[in-house]
């Protein structure tokens, strides 16, 4: 298995760096070696930039040495991400790096500038290891819609890691990096976090600037962190969050520095749970929820109660309408956003001999987009077309109001946060939901209402069902990321001794084999079986 450095959380690596026990170069070399070794079996990375990562590591080591020369205050002022490796989902612009968004239409496209969050990561001295695989344009819940092949889940290589940020989730779960960046439009951070057994947070809409991110659905998209524990997730959120005037929807709301001070001691972390009022939304225990998932959530609820929180059943009566609402609003916004891929200014360009410019558009977009993206563009175009705009789009926006009010009512009544399953099922096998779009869409039934309401949500691991990870979702009012992460940290603390806590992804060893089957081969074998 990997170098011990690749199993440590970021905060432990940060301490080791400052103590002079290791260097950023040593950490990044271990990360690169593991990511490269695993990539045949996992396909989590679309680009690994070894030379740039090592140069950034050396720069971080130099920065730490310079701070040491200035004294302990200068060292203390360094961000905990300094010198530590981060995975970027391949829809985040990194100047000079390919940015595909998982699509053929952007294959070979090289970002001419950095996204806001890339700039922020550079400022704090984080090392960008590369770009991770994803469902095309972030549309999907299994990573099977990537134009560059599926990703295997390190817990069972025949299963999906979830999506759309499946590559970043897998890179963190497999130990390639302690930190990963994803985006979440309907569950694309939280659901893969649940299915791979890591922490993943979707912040409040507007918390993180989307400048330089390939757009999917602009009223729902939000950037957020993956990590193997809540302290690291909080530190990464701290690094990237905050107002940026190049994204007019990024909110002028201050980012609490307490995100860098989540309790390290378990007793202190657990004490935060005392007296908290948590709500268990009854509508989230949907038909089709696996018994093993429900059992995991109920056990987590008992652990929270034992630590002094009260958990009461609450109702979010419009939950059932979330799926239909989402699958009108998101495709409508996507169809508008994706109109920019015209084959003229950048990206794939198919020019038909003798055809007019319309023929070029049809050919370029027909060849460049994959099946799920085409489906969503079709849905969105239909929902926005003359005569249907009111019946579909405006109707969905009105139901969106009702969904948001459900949450407002619960939080207004004094509930601090909601506890719910993240995904109704554990990781599923390749091919299980690919033929039926609606069954794939149901993967996000418990996460997408949170996007519709613009709220923050975090998924934390809460056990295993038949050896596969289950995720517990915590949902809070707008701008409550710090409180949610403290709750999650408290839950980590009270379950620190649980037997499942120490279990590593079961098939990591298999992923390390030189002649391991690729995810493409596994998918083909399952399809033939």
Partner 1 sequence: MRGWFTAGACHAGDRAGGGYDRPVAALSRADVEHVAFLARLGLTADELDRLEGQLNHILEQYAKLTELDTSAIPPTAQTIELENILRDDVATPSLAPDQVLSNAPQRDGEFIVVPPILGGDGG
Which residues participate in catalysis according to the annotation? 89, 164, 188
CB of 393 to partner 1, least distance (A): 9
Q: Whose structure tokens read 């290891």?
A: 129
In the bound state with partner 1, the residue whose beta carbon lies nearer, of 71 and 354, is 354
The site string for partner 1 over 244-263 (x = CB under 8 A, - otherwise) reads -x--xx-xx-----------
Q: Which of residues 457-486 bind partner 1 (CB under 8 A)?
A: 478
Q: How far apart are CA 228 and CA 232, in angstroms?
A: 7
C-alpha to C-alpha distances, 32 to 17, 53, 294, nearest whole angstrom: 18, 9, 37
Is residue 287 a contact residue for partner 1 (CB under 8 A)? no
Q: Whose structure tokens read 């059932």?
A: 320
Count of residues touching partner 1 (by CB under 8 A): 76
Out of 213, 235, 311, 399, the residue judged to bind partner 1 by CB under 8 A: 399
In the bound state with partner 1, the residue whose beta carbon lies nearer, of 396 and 516, is 396
| H or E element, residue 223 | strand 222-227
- DSSP secondary structure of 204-217: PTTSB--TTB--S-
CB of 394 to partner 1, least distance (A): 6
Sign of CA dihedral 277, 281, 284, 285: positive
In the bound state with partner 1, the residue whose beta carbon lies nearer, of 284 and 327, is 327
Among the candidate windows 77-85, 293-301, 346-354, 426-434, which touches partner 1 by CB under 8 A? 346-354
Q: Whose structure tokens read 């360094």?
A: 78
Joined tokens for residue 17: 């760096």
Is residue 324 a contact residue for partner 1 (CB under 8 A)? yes
Q: How far apart are CA 173 and CA 175, in angstroms?
A: 5
What are the helix (H) ranges across 71-136? Answer: 72-76, 116-124
Q: Which of residues 403-422 bind partner 1 (CB under 8 A)?
A: 404
218: left (phi over 0), alpha (psi -120 to 50) or beta: alpha
Out of 21, 66, 306, 402, the residue judged to bind partner 1 by CB under 8 A: 402
Q: Which of residues 205-224 bind partner 1 (CB under 8 A)?
A: 205-206, 219
CB of 112 to partner 1, least distance (A): 4
**Helix (H, G, I), strand (E, B), or coil: what is residue 527?**
helix
CA angle at 122 for the pair 44 and 92, rounded to the nearest 5°:
40
Out of 123, 312, 320, 513, the residue judged to bind partner 1 by CB under 8 A: 320
In the bound state with partner 1, the residue whose beta carbon lies nearer, of 120 and 365, is 365
The site string for partner 1 over 347-376 (x = CB under 8 A, - otherwise) reads xxx-x----xxxxxxxx-xxx-x-x--xx-
C-alpha to C-alpha distances, 76 to 48, 70, 80, 258, 495, nearest whole angstrom: 31, 11, 9, 15, 31
Are 384 and 336 contacting, i.e. CB atoms less than 8 angstroms apart? Answer: yes
Out of 94, 263, 453, 516, the residue judged to bind partner 1 by CB under 8 A: 453
Whether a cis peptide bond, with omega within 30° of 0, leads into 164 is yes
Out of 378, 413, 496, 527, the residue judged to bind partner 1 by CB under 8 A: 378
CB of 466 to partner 1, least distance (A): 30
Q: Which of residues 112-151 bind partner 1 (CB under 8 A)?
A: 112-113
Q: Which of residues 379-398 bind partner 1 (CB under 8 A)?
A: 379, 381-382, 385-388, 390-392, 394-398
């Amino acid at each position: 298995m990997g170098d011990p450095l690749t199993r440590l959380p970021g905060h432990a690596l940060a301490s080791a760096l400052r103590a002079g026990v290791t260097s950023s170069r040593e950490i990044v070399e271990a990360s690169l070696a593991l990511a490269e070794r695993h990539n045949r079996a996992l396909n989590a990375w679309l680009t690994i930039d070894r030379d740039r990562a090592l140069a950034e590591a050396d720069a971080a080591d130099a920065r730490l040495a310079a701070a040491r020369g200035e004294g302990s205050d200068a060292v203390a002022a360094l961000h905990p991400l300094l010198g530590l490796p981060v995975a970027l989902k391949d829809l985040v612009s990194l100047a000079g790096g390919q940015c595909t968004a998982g699509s053929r239409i952007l294959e070979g496209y090289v970002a001419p500038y950095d996204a806001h969050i890339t700039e922020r990561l550079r400022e704090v001295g984080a090392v960008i290891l590369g770009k991770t695989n994803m469902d095309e344009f972030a549309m999907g819940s299994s990573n099977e819609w990537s134009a560059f092949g599926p990703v295997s889940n390190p817990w069972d290589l025949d299963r999906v890691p979830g999506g759309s940020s499946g590559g970043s989730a897998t890179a963190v779960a497999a130990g390639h990096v302690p930190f990963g960046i994803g985006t979440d439009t309907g569950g694309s951070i939280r659901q893969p976090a649940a299915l791979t057994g890591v922490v993943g947070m979707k912040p409040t809409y507007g918390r993180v600037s989307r400048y330089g991110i390939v757009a999917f659905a602009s009223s729902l998209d939000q950037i957020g962190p993956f990590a193997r524990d809540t302290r690291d997730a909080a530190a990464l959120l701290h690094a990237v969050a905050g107002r940026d005037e190049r994204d007019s929807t990024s909110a002028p709301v201050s980012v609490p520095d307490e995100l860098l001070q989540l309790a390290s001691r378990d007793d202190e972390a657990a004490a935060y749970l005392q007296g908290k009022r948590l709500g268990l939304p009854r509508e989230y225990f949907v038909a089709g929820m696996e018994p093993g998932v429900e059992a995991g959530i109920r056990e987590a609820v008992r652990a929270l109660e034992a630590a002094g929180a009260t958990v009461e059943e609450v109702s979010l009566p419009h939950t059932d309408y979330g799926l239909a609402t989402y699958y009108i609003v998101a495709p409508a916004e996507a169809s508008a956003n994706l109109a920019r891929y015209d084959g003229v200014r950048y990206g794939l360009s198919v020019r038909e001999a003798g055809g007019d410019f319309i023929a070029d558009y049809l050919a370029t977009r027909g060849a460049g987009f994959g099946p799920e993206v085409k489906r969503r563009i079709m849905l969105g175009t239909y929902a926005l077309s003359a005569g249907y705009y009111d019946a579909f789009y405006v109707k969905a926006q009105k139901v969106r109001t009702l969904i948001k009010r459900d949450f407002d009512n619960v939080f207004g009544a004094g509930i601090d946060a909601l506890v719910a399953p993240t995904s109704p099922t554990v990781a599923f096998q390749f091919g299980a939901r690919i033929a039926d779009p609606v069954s794939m869409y149901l993967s996000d039934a418990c996460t997408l209402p949170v996007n519709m309401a613009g709220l923050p949500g975090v998924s934390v691991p809460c056990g295993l069902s038949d050896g596969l990870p289950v995720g517990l979702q915590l949902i809070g009012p707008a701008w409550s990321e710090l409180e949610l992460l403290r709750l999650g940290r408290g839950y980590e603390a009270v379950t620190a001794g649980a037997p499942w806590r120490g279990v590593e992804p079961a098939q990591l060893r298999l992923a390390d084999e030189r002649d391991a089957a690729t995810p493409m081969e596994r998918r083909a074998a399952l399809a033939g079986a």
